A and B are shown apart, each in its own frame.
Chain A
């Protein structure tokens, strides 16, 4: 026999299943846990692989935004294009060896 309190929360004819109602929130919690595990567990662990470790240090030292999606999103492209243009337009003539 459902209690008076439950009768006000659950629509008539619907069984009261608190665990079922909690499921979406548990799934959300589990999802967040997976993201945190990737960010603070698996991610840093993979960085111990030699090449990733070197690349990670390099990106940090150079301040490169490796996540940029277009050339205008990072200064590195602007600097590289500028340097190349200076070399080709104003650089001294250098014959190929």
Chain B
């Protein structure tokens, strides 16, 4: 029998059936406990990072911003000093401090490998040195090229400066030479990273992490009145599946296709549950909803509303106007035209396809209490189509000679997976990457609103008898409470983000609390959740949801509409309504 994501196998559906709440729900119900656990992590993150800013952070920001303004008013192009100040400003981040690096190392997932999976967990000093030596010739070559490009850029800038920046030809040449230097410097920097491999042994840190997480979630289970010991023992098995999923993700070939840990965790889990069976002693730790809800509260902190202004109105129109239209139309199409048997599967696929792939699927499926098979199907569809679109879209854009900014906006608004957007955008060029990444980021932020809207709609309209009026009191009882934690985390972190200002927030909150701490844990929690989904999913049950190929038809039709509408909106916004923004990108 399938179970909903938000109702565990041993839970009674009390909140829905008899609409009764008690004070003890605050610690006995999984929804509330996920909020507490998530907020404990968020508070710990803030307490670790915020009191430890980089030395002279505020003074340095003032200094570099003043240089940037001065240089921008001096020349009609971005000068060498402008780029140097920008680069120095980017390096002001709490994550470069030793304590932050230690935290990141502890939570780190397995590293990259090609043919030997042990490489993902262990690299000797000799192997690291061999890799560094292998990368050294290319780095030296690119470093020399960057130095030569800088010399040429300096000469061009000087010539333009000597003409008081009034000679358009000299200005254009200086701008082009500086851009070429930037490109060469970026290449050299990436090559340098390949000569900086350090030996690692992740067996110890992973064992430590497994123990801490088992304890963390185990105490939560005990608070909810469930046995600690049984959960604690079984947890290590689920954790191993999560580690295997991460390991498969970083295999050199597989990562090209964008097949991430969610897919692998489901595959490995299902392989076990559908062959030798999930061992009985593991089952108490197979707690999909518990992990996913705690992870979603952490994800809430990453939903920063200030991001929607990153590229101004064109970005908002492409990401925040097109996306809800596509989501609503696809859902309507699924219900009215395709006669989708499951509304929860329909909305999960619609959100996954129109918003941002796996993360949107997780948030939406949890908000509407979709079944785990439905989430599995949505994730699988998204990953397969992402693997195709990531390669096909840049190929098409290049073939038809589409402008970079338009291509970037199109990619950012349509490719599901966030990582694939970065790859496809960067493949087209820097400007395409900037736009693709920013549009996708704005779209990512939308999942907070989508999850909340879906949860309210489901409580008020879908989960009730047709024609009956549902009171607010009843809606409150049915509402998945962890969504409130997700929204609260988003609002609190967005307010903090706004209070600190873009520069300080970027250096302390985004690079510190979020990227160096909470998001690493959030990924582990999602990996545990997907491993649990796999360990509890029957293959035959899953096949039923694919009957008639309706999910595939829904995805293809919805994505085709998405492609057409996003392209149209991107063209109108970036080239007809706001060409001045496009010119400055």
Contact = CB atoms under 8 A, between A and B. Distances in A.
A51 B391 contact: yes
Nearest to A42: B253
B511 to A, nearest CB: 7
Interface string B498-535: 00001000100011001100010001001000000000
A78 B441 CA distance: 10
B441 A71 contact: yes
Contacts of A86: 68, 86, 89
A81 B438 contact: yes
Residue of A40, A47, A70, A84 ringed by the most chain B CB atoms within 10 A: A70
Given A52-B256, A80-B438, A85-B502, 5 more contacts: A24-B277, A39-B248, A43-B257, A67-B259, A88-B584
Nearest to A35: B267
A78 B583 contact: no
A76 B253 contact: no
Contacts of A40: 115, 253
B207 interface: no
A24 to B, nearest CB: 4
Interface string A73-97: 1101111111111111011111111
Contacts of A25: 275-276
B419 A73 contact: yes
Contacts of B277: 24
A53 B473 CA distance: 57
Contacts of A63: 190, 193
Nearest to A86: B86
Contacts of B71: 92
Contacts of B437: 71, 76-77, 80-81
Interface residues of B toward A: which range? Answer: 35 or more
Contacts of B271: 28, 31-32, 35
Contacts, number: 203
A60 B253 CA distance: 10
Contact of B255 (A27, A32, A66): A66
Given A51-B395, A73-B519, A27 B256 contact: no
Interface residues of A, number: 55
A81 B583 contact: no
Nearest to A71: B441
Interface string A52-70: 1011101111111111111
Interface of B: 65, 68-69, 71-73, 75-78, 82, 86, 89-90, 115, 190, 193, 248-249, 251-262, 267, 271-272, 274-277, 299, 302, 307, 310-312, 356-359, 390-392, 394-395, 417-420, 422-423, 425-427, 430, 433-438, 440-441, 444, 502, 506, 510-511, 514-515, 519, 523, 526, 579-585
Contact of B418 (A61, A71, A97): A71
Interface in A1-39: 24-25, 27-28, 31-32, 35, 39
Nearest to A95: B583
Contacts of B68: 86, 90
A28 B426 CA distance: 40
A88 B312 contact: yes
Contacts of A51: 391-392, 395
A69 B584 contact: no
Nearest to A24: B276
Contacts of A64: 419, 422-423, 426
Contacts of B69: 90
A84 B311 contact: yes
A27 B581 CA distance: 58
Nearest to B277: A24
A40 to B, nearest CB: 8
A39 B253 contact: yes
A72 B435 CA distance: 16
Contacts of B417: 66-69
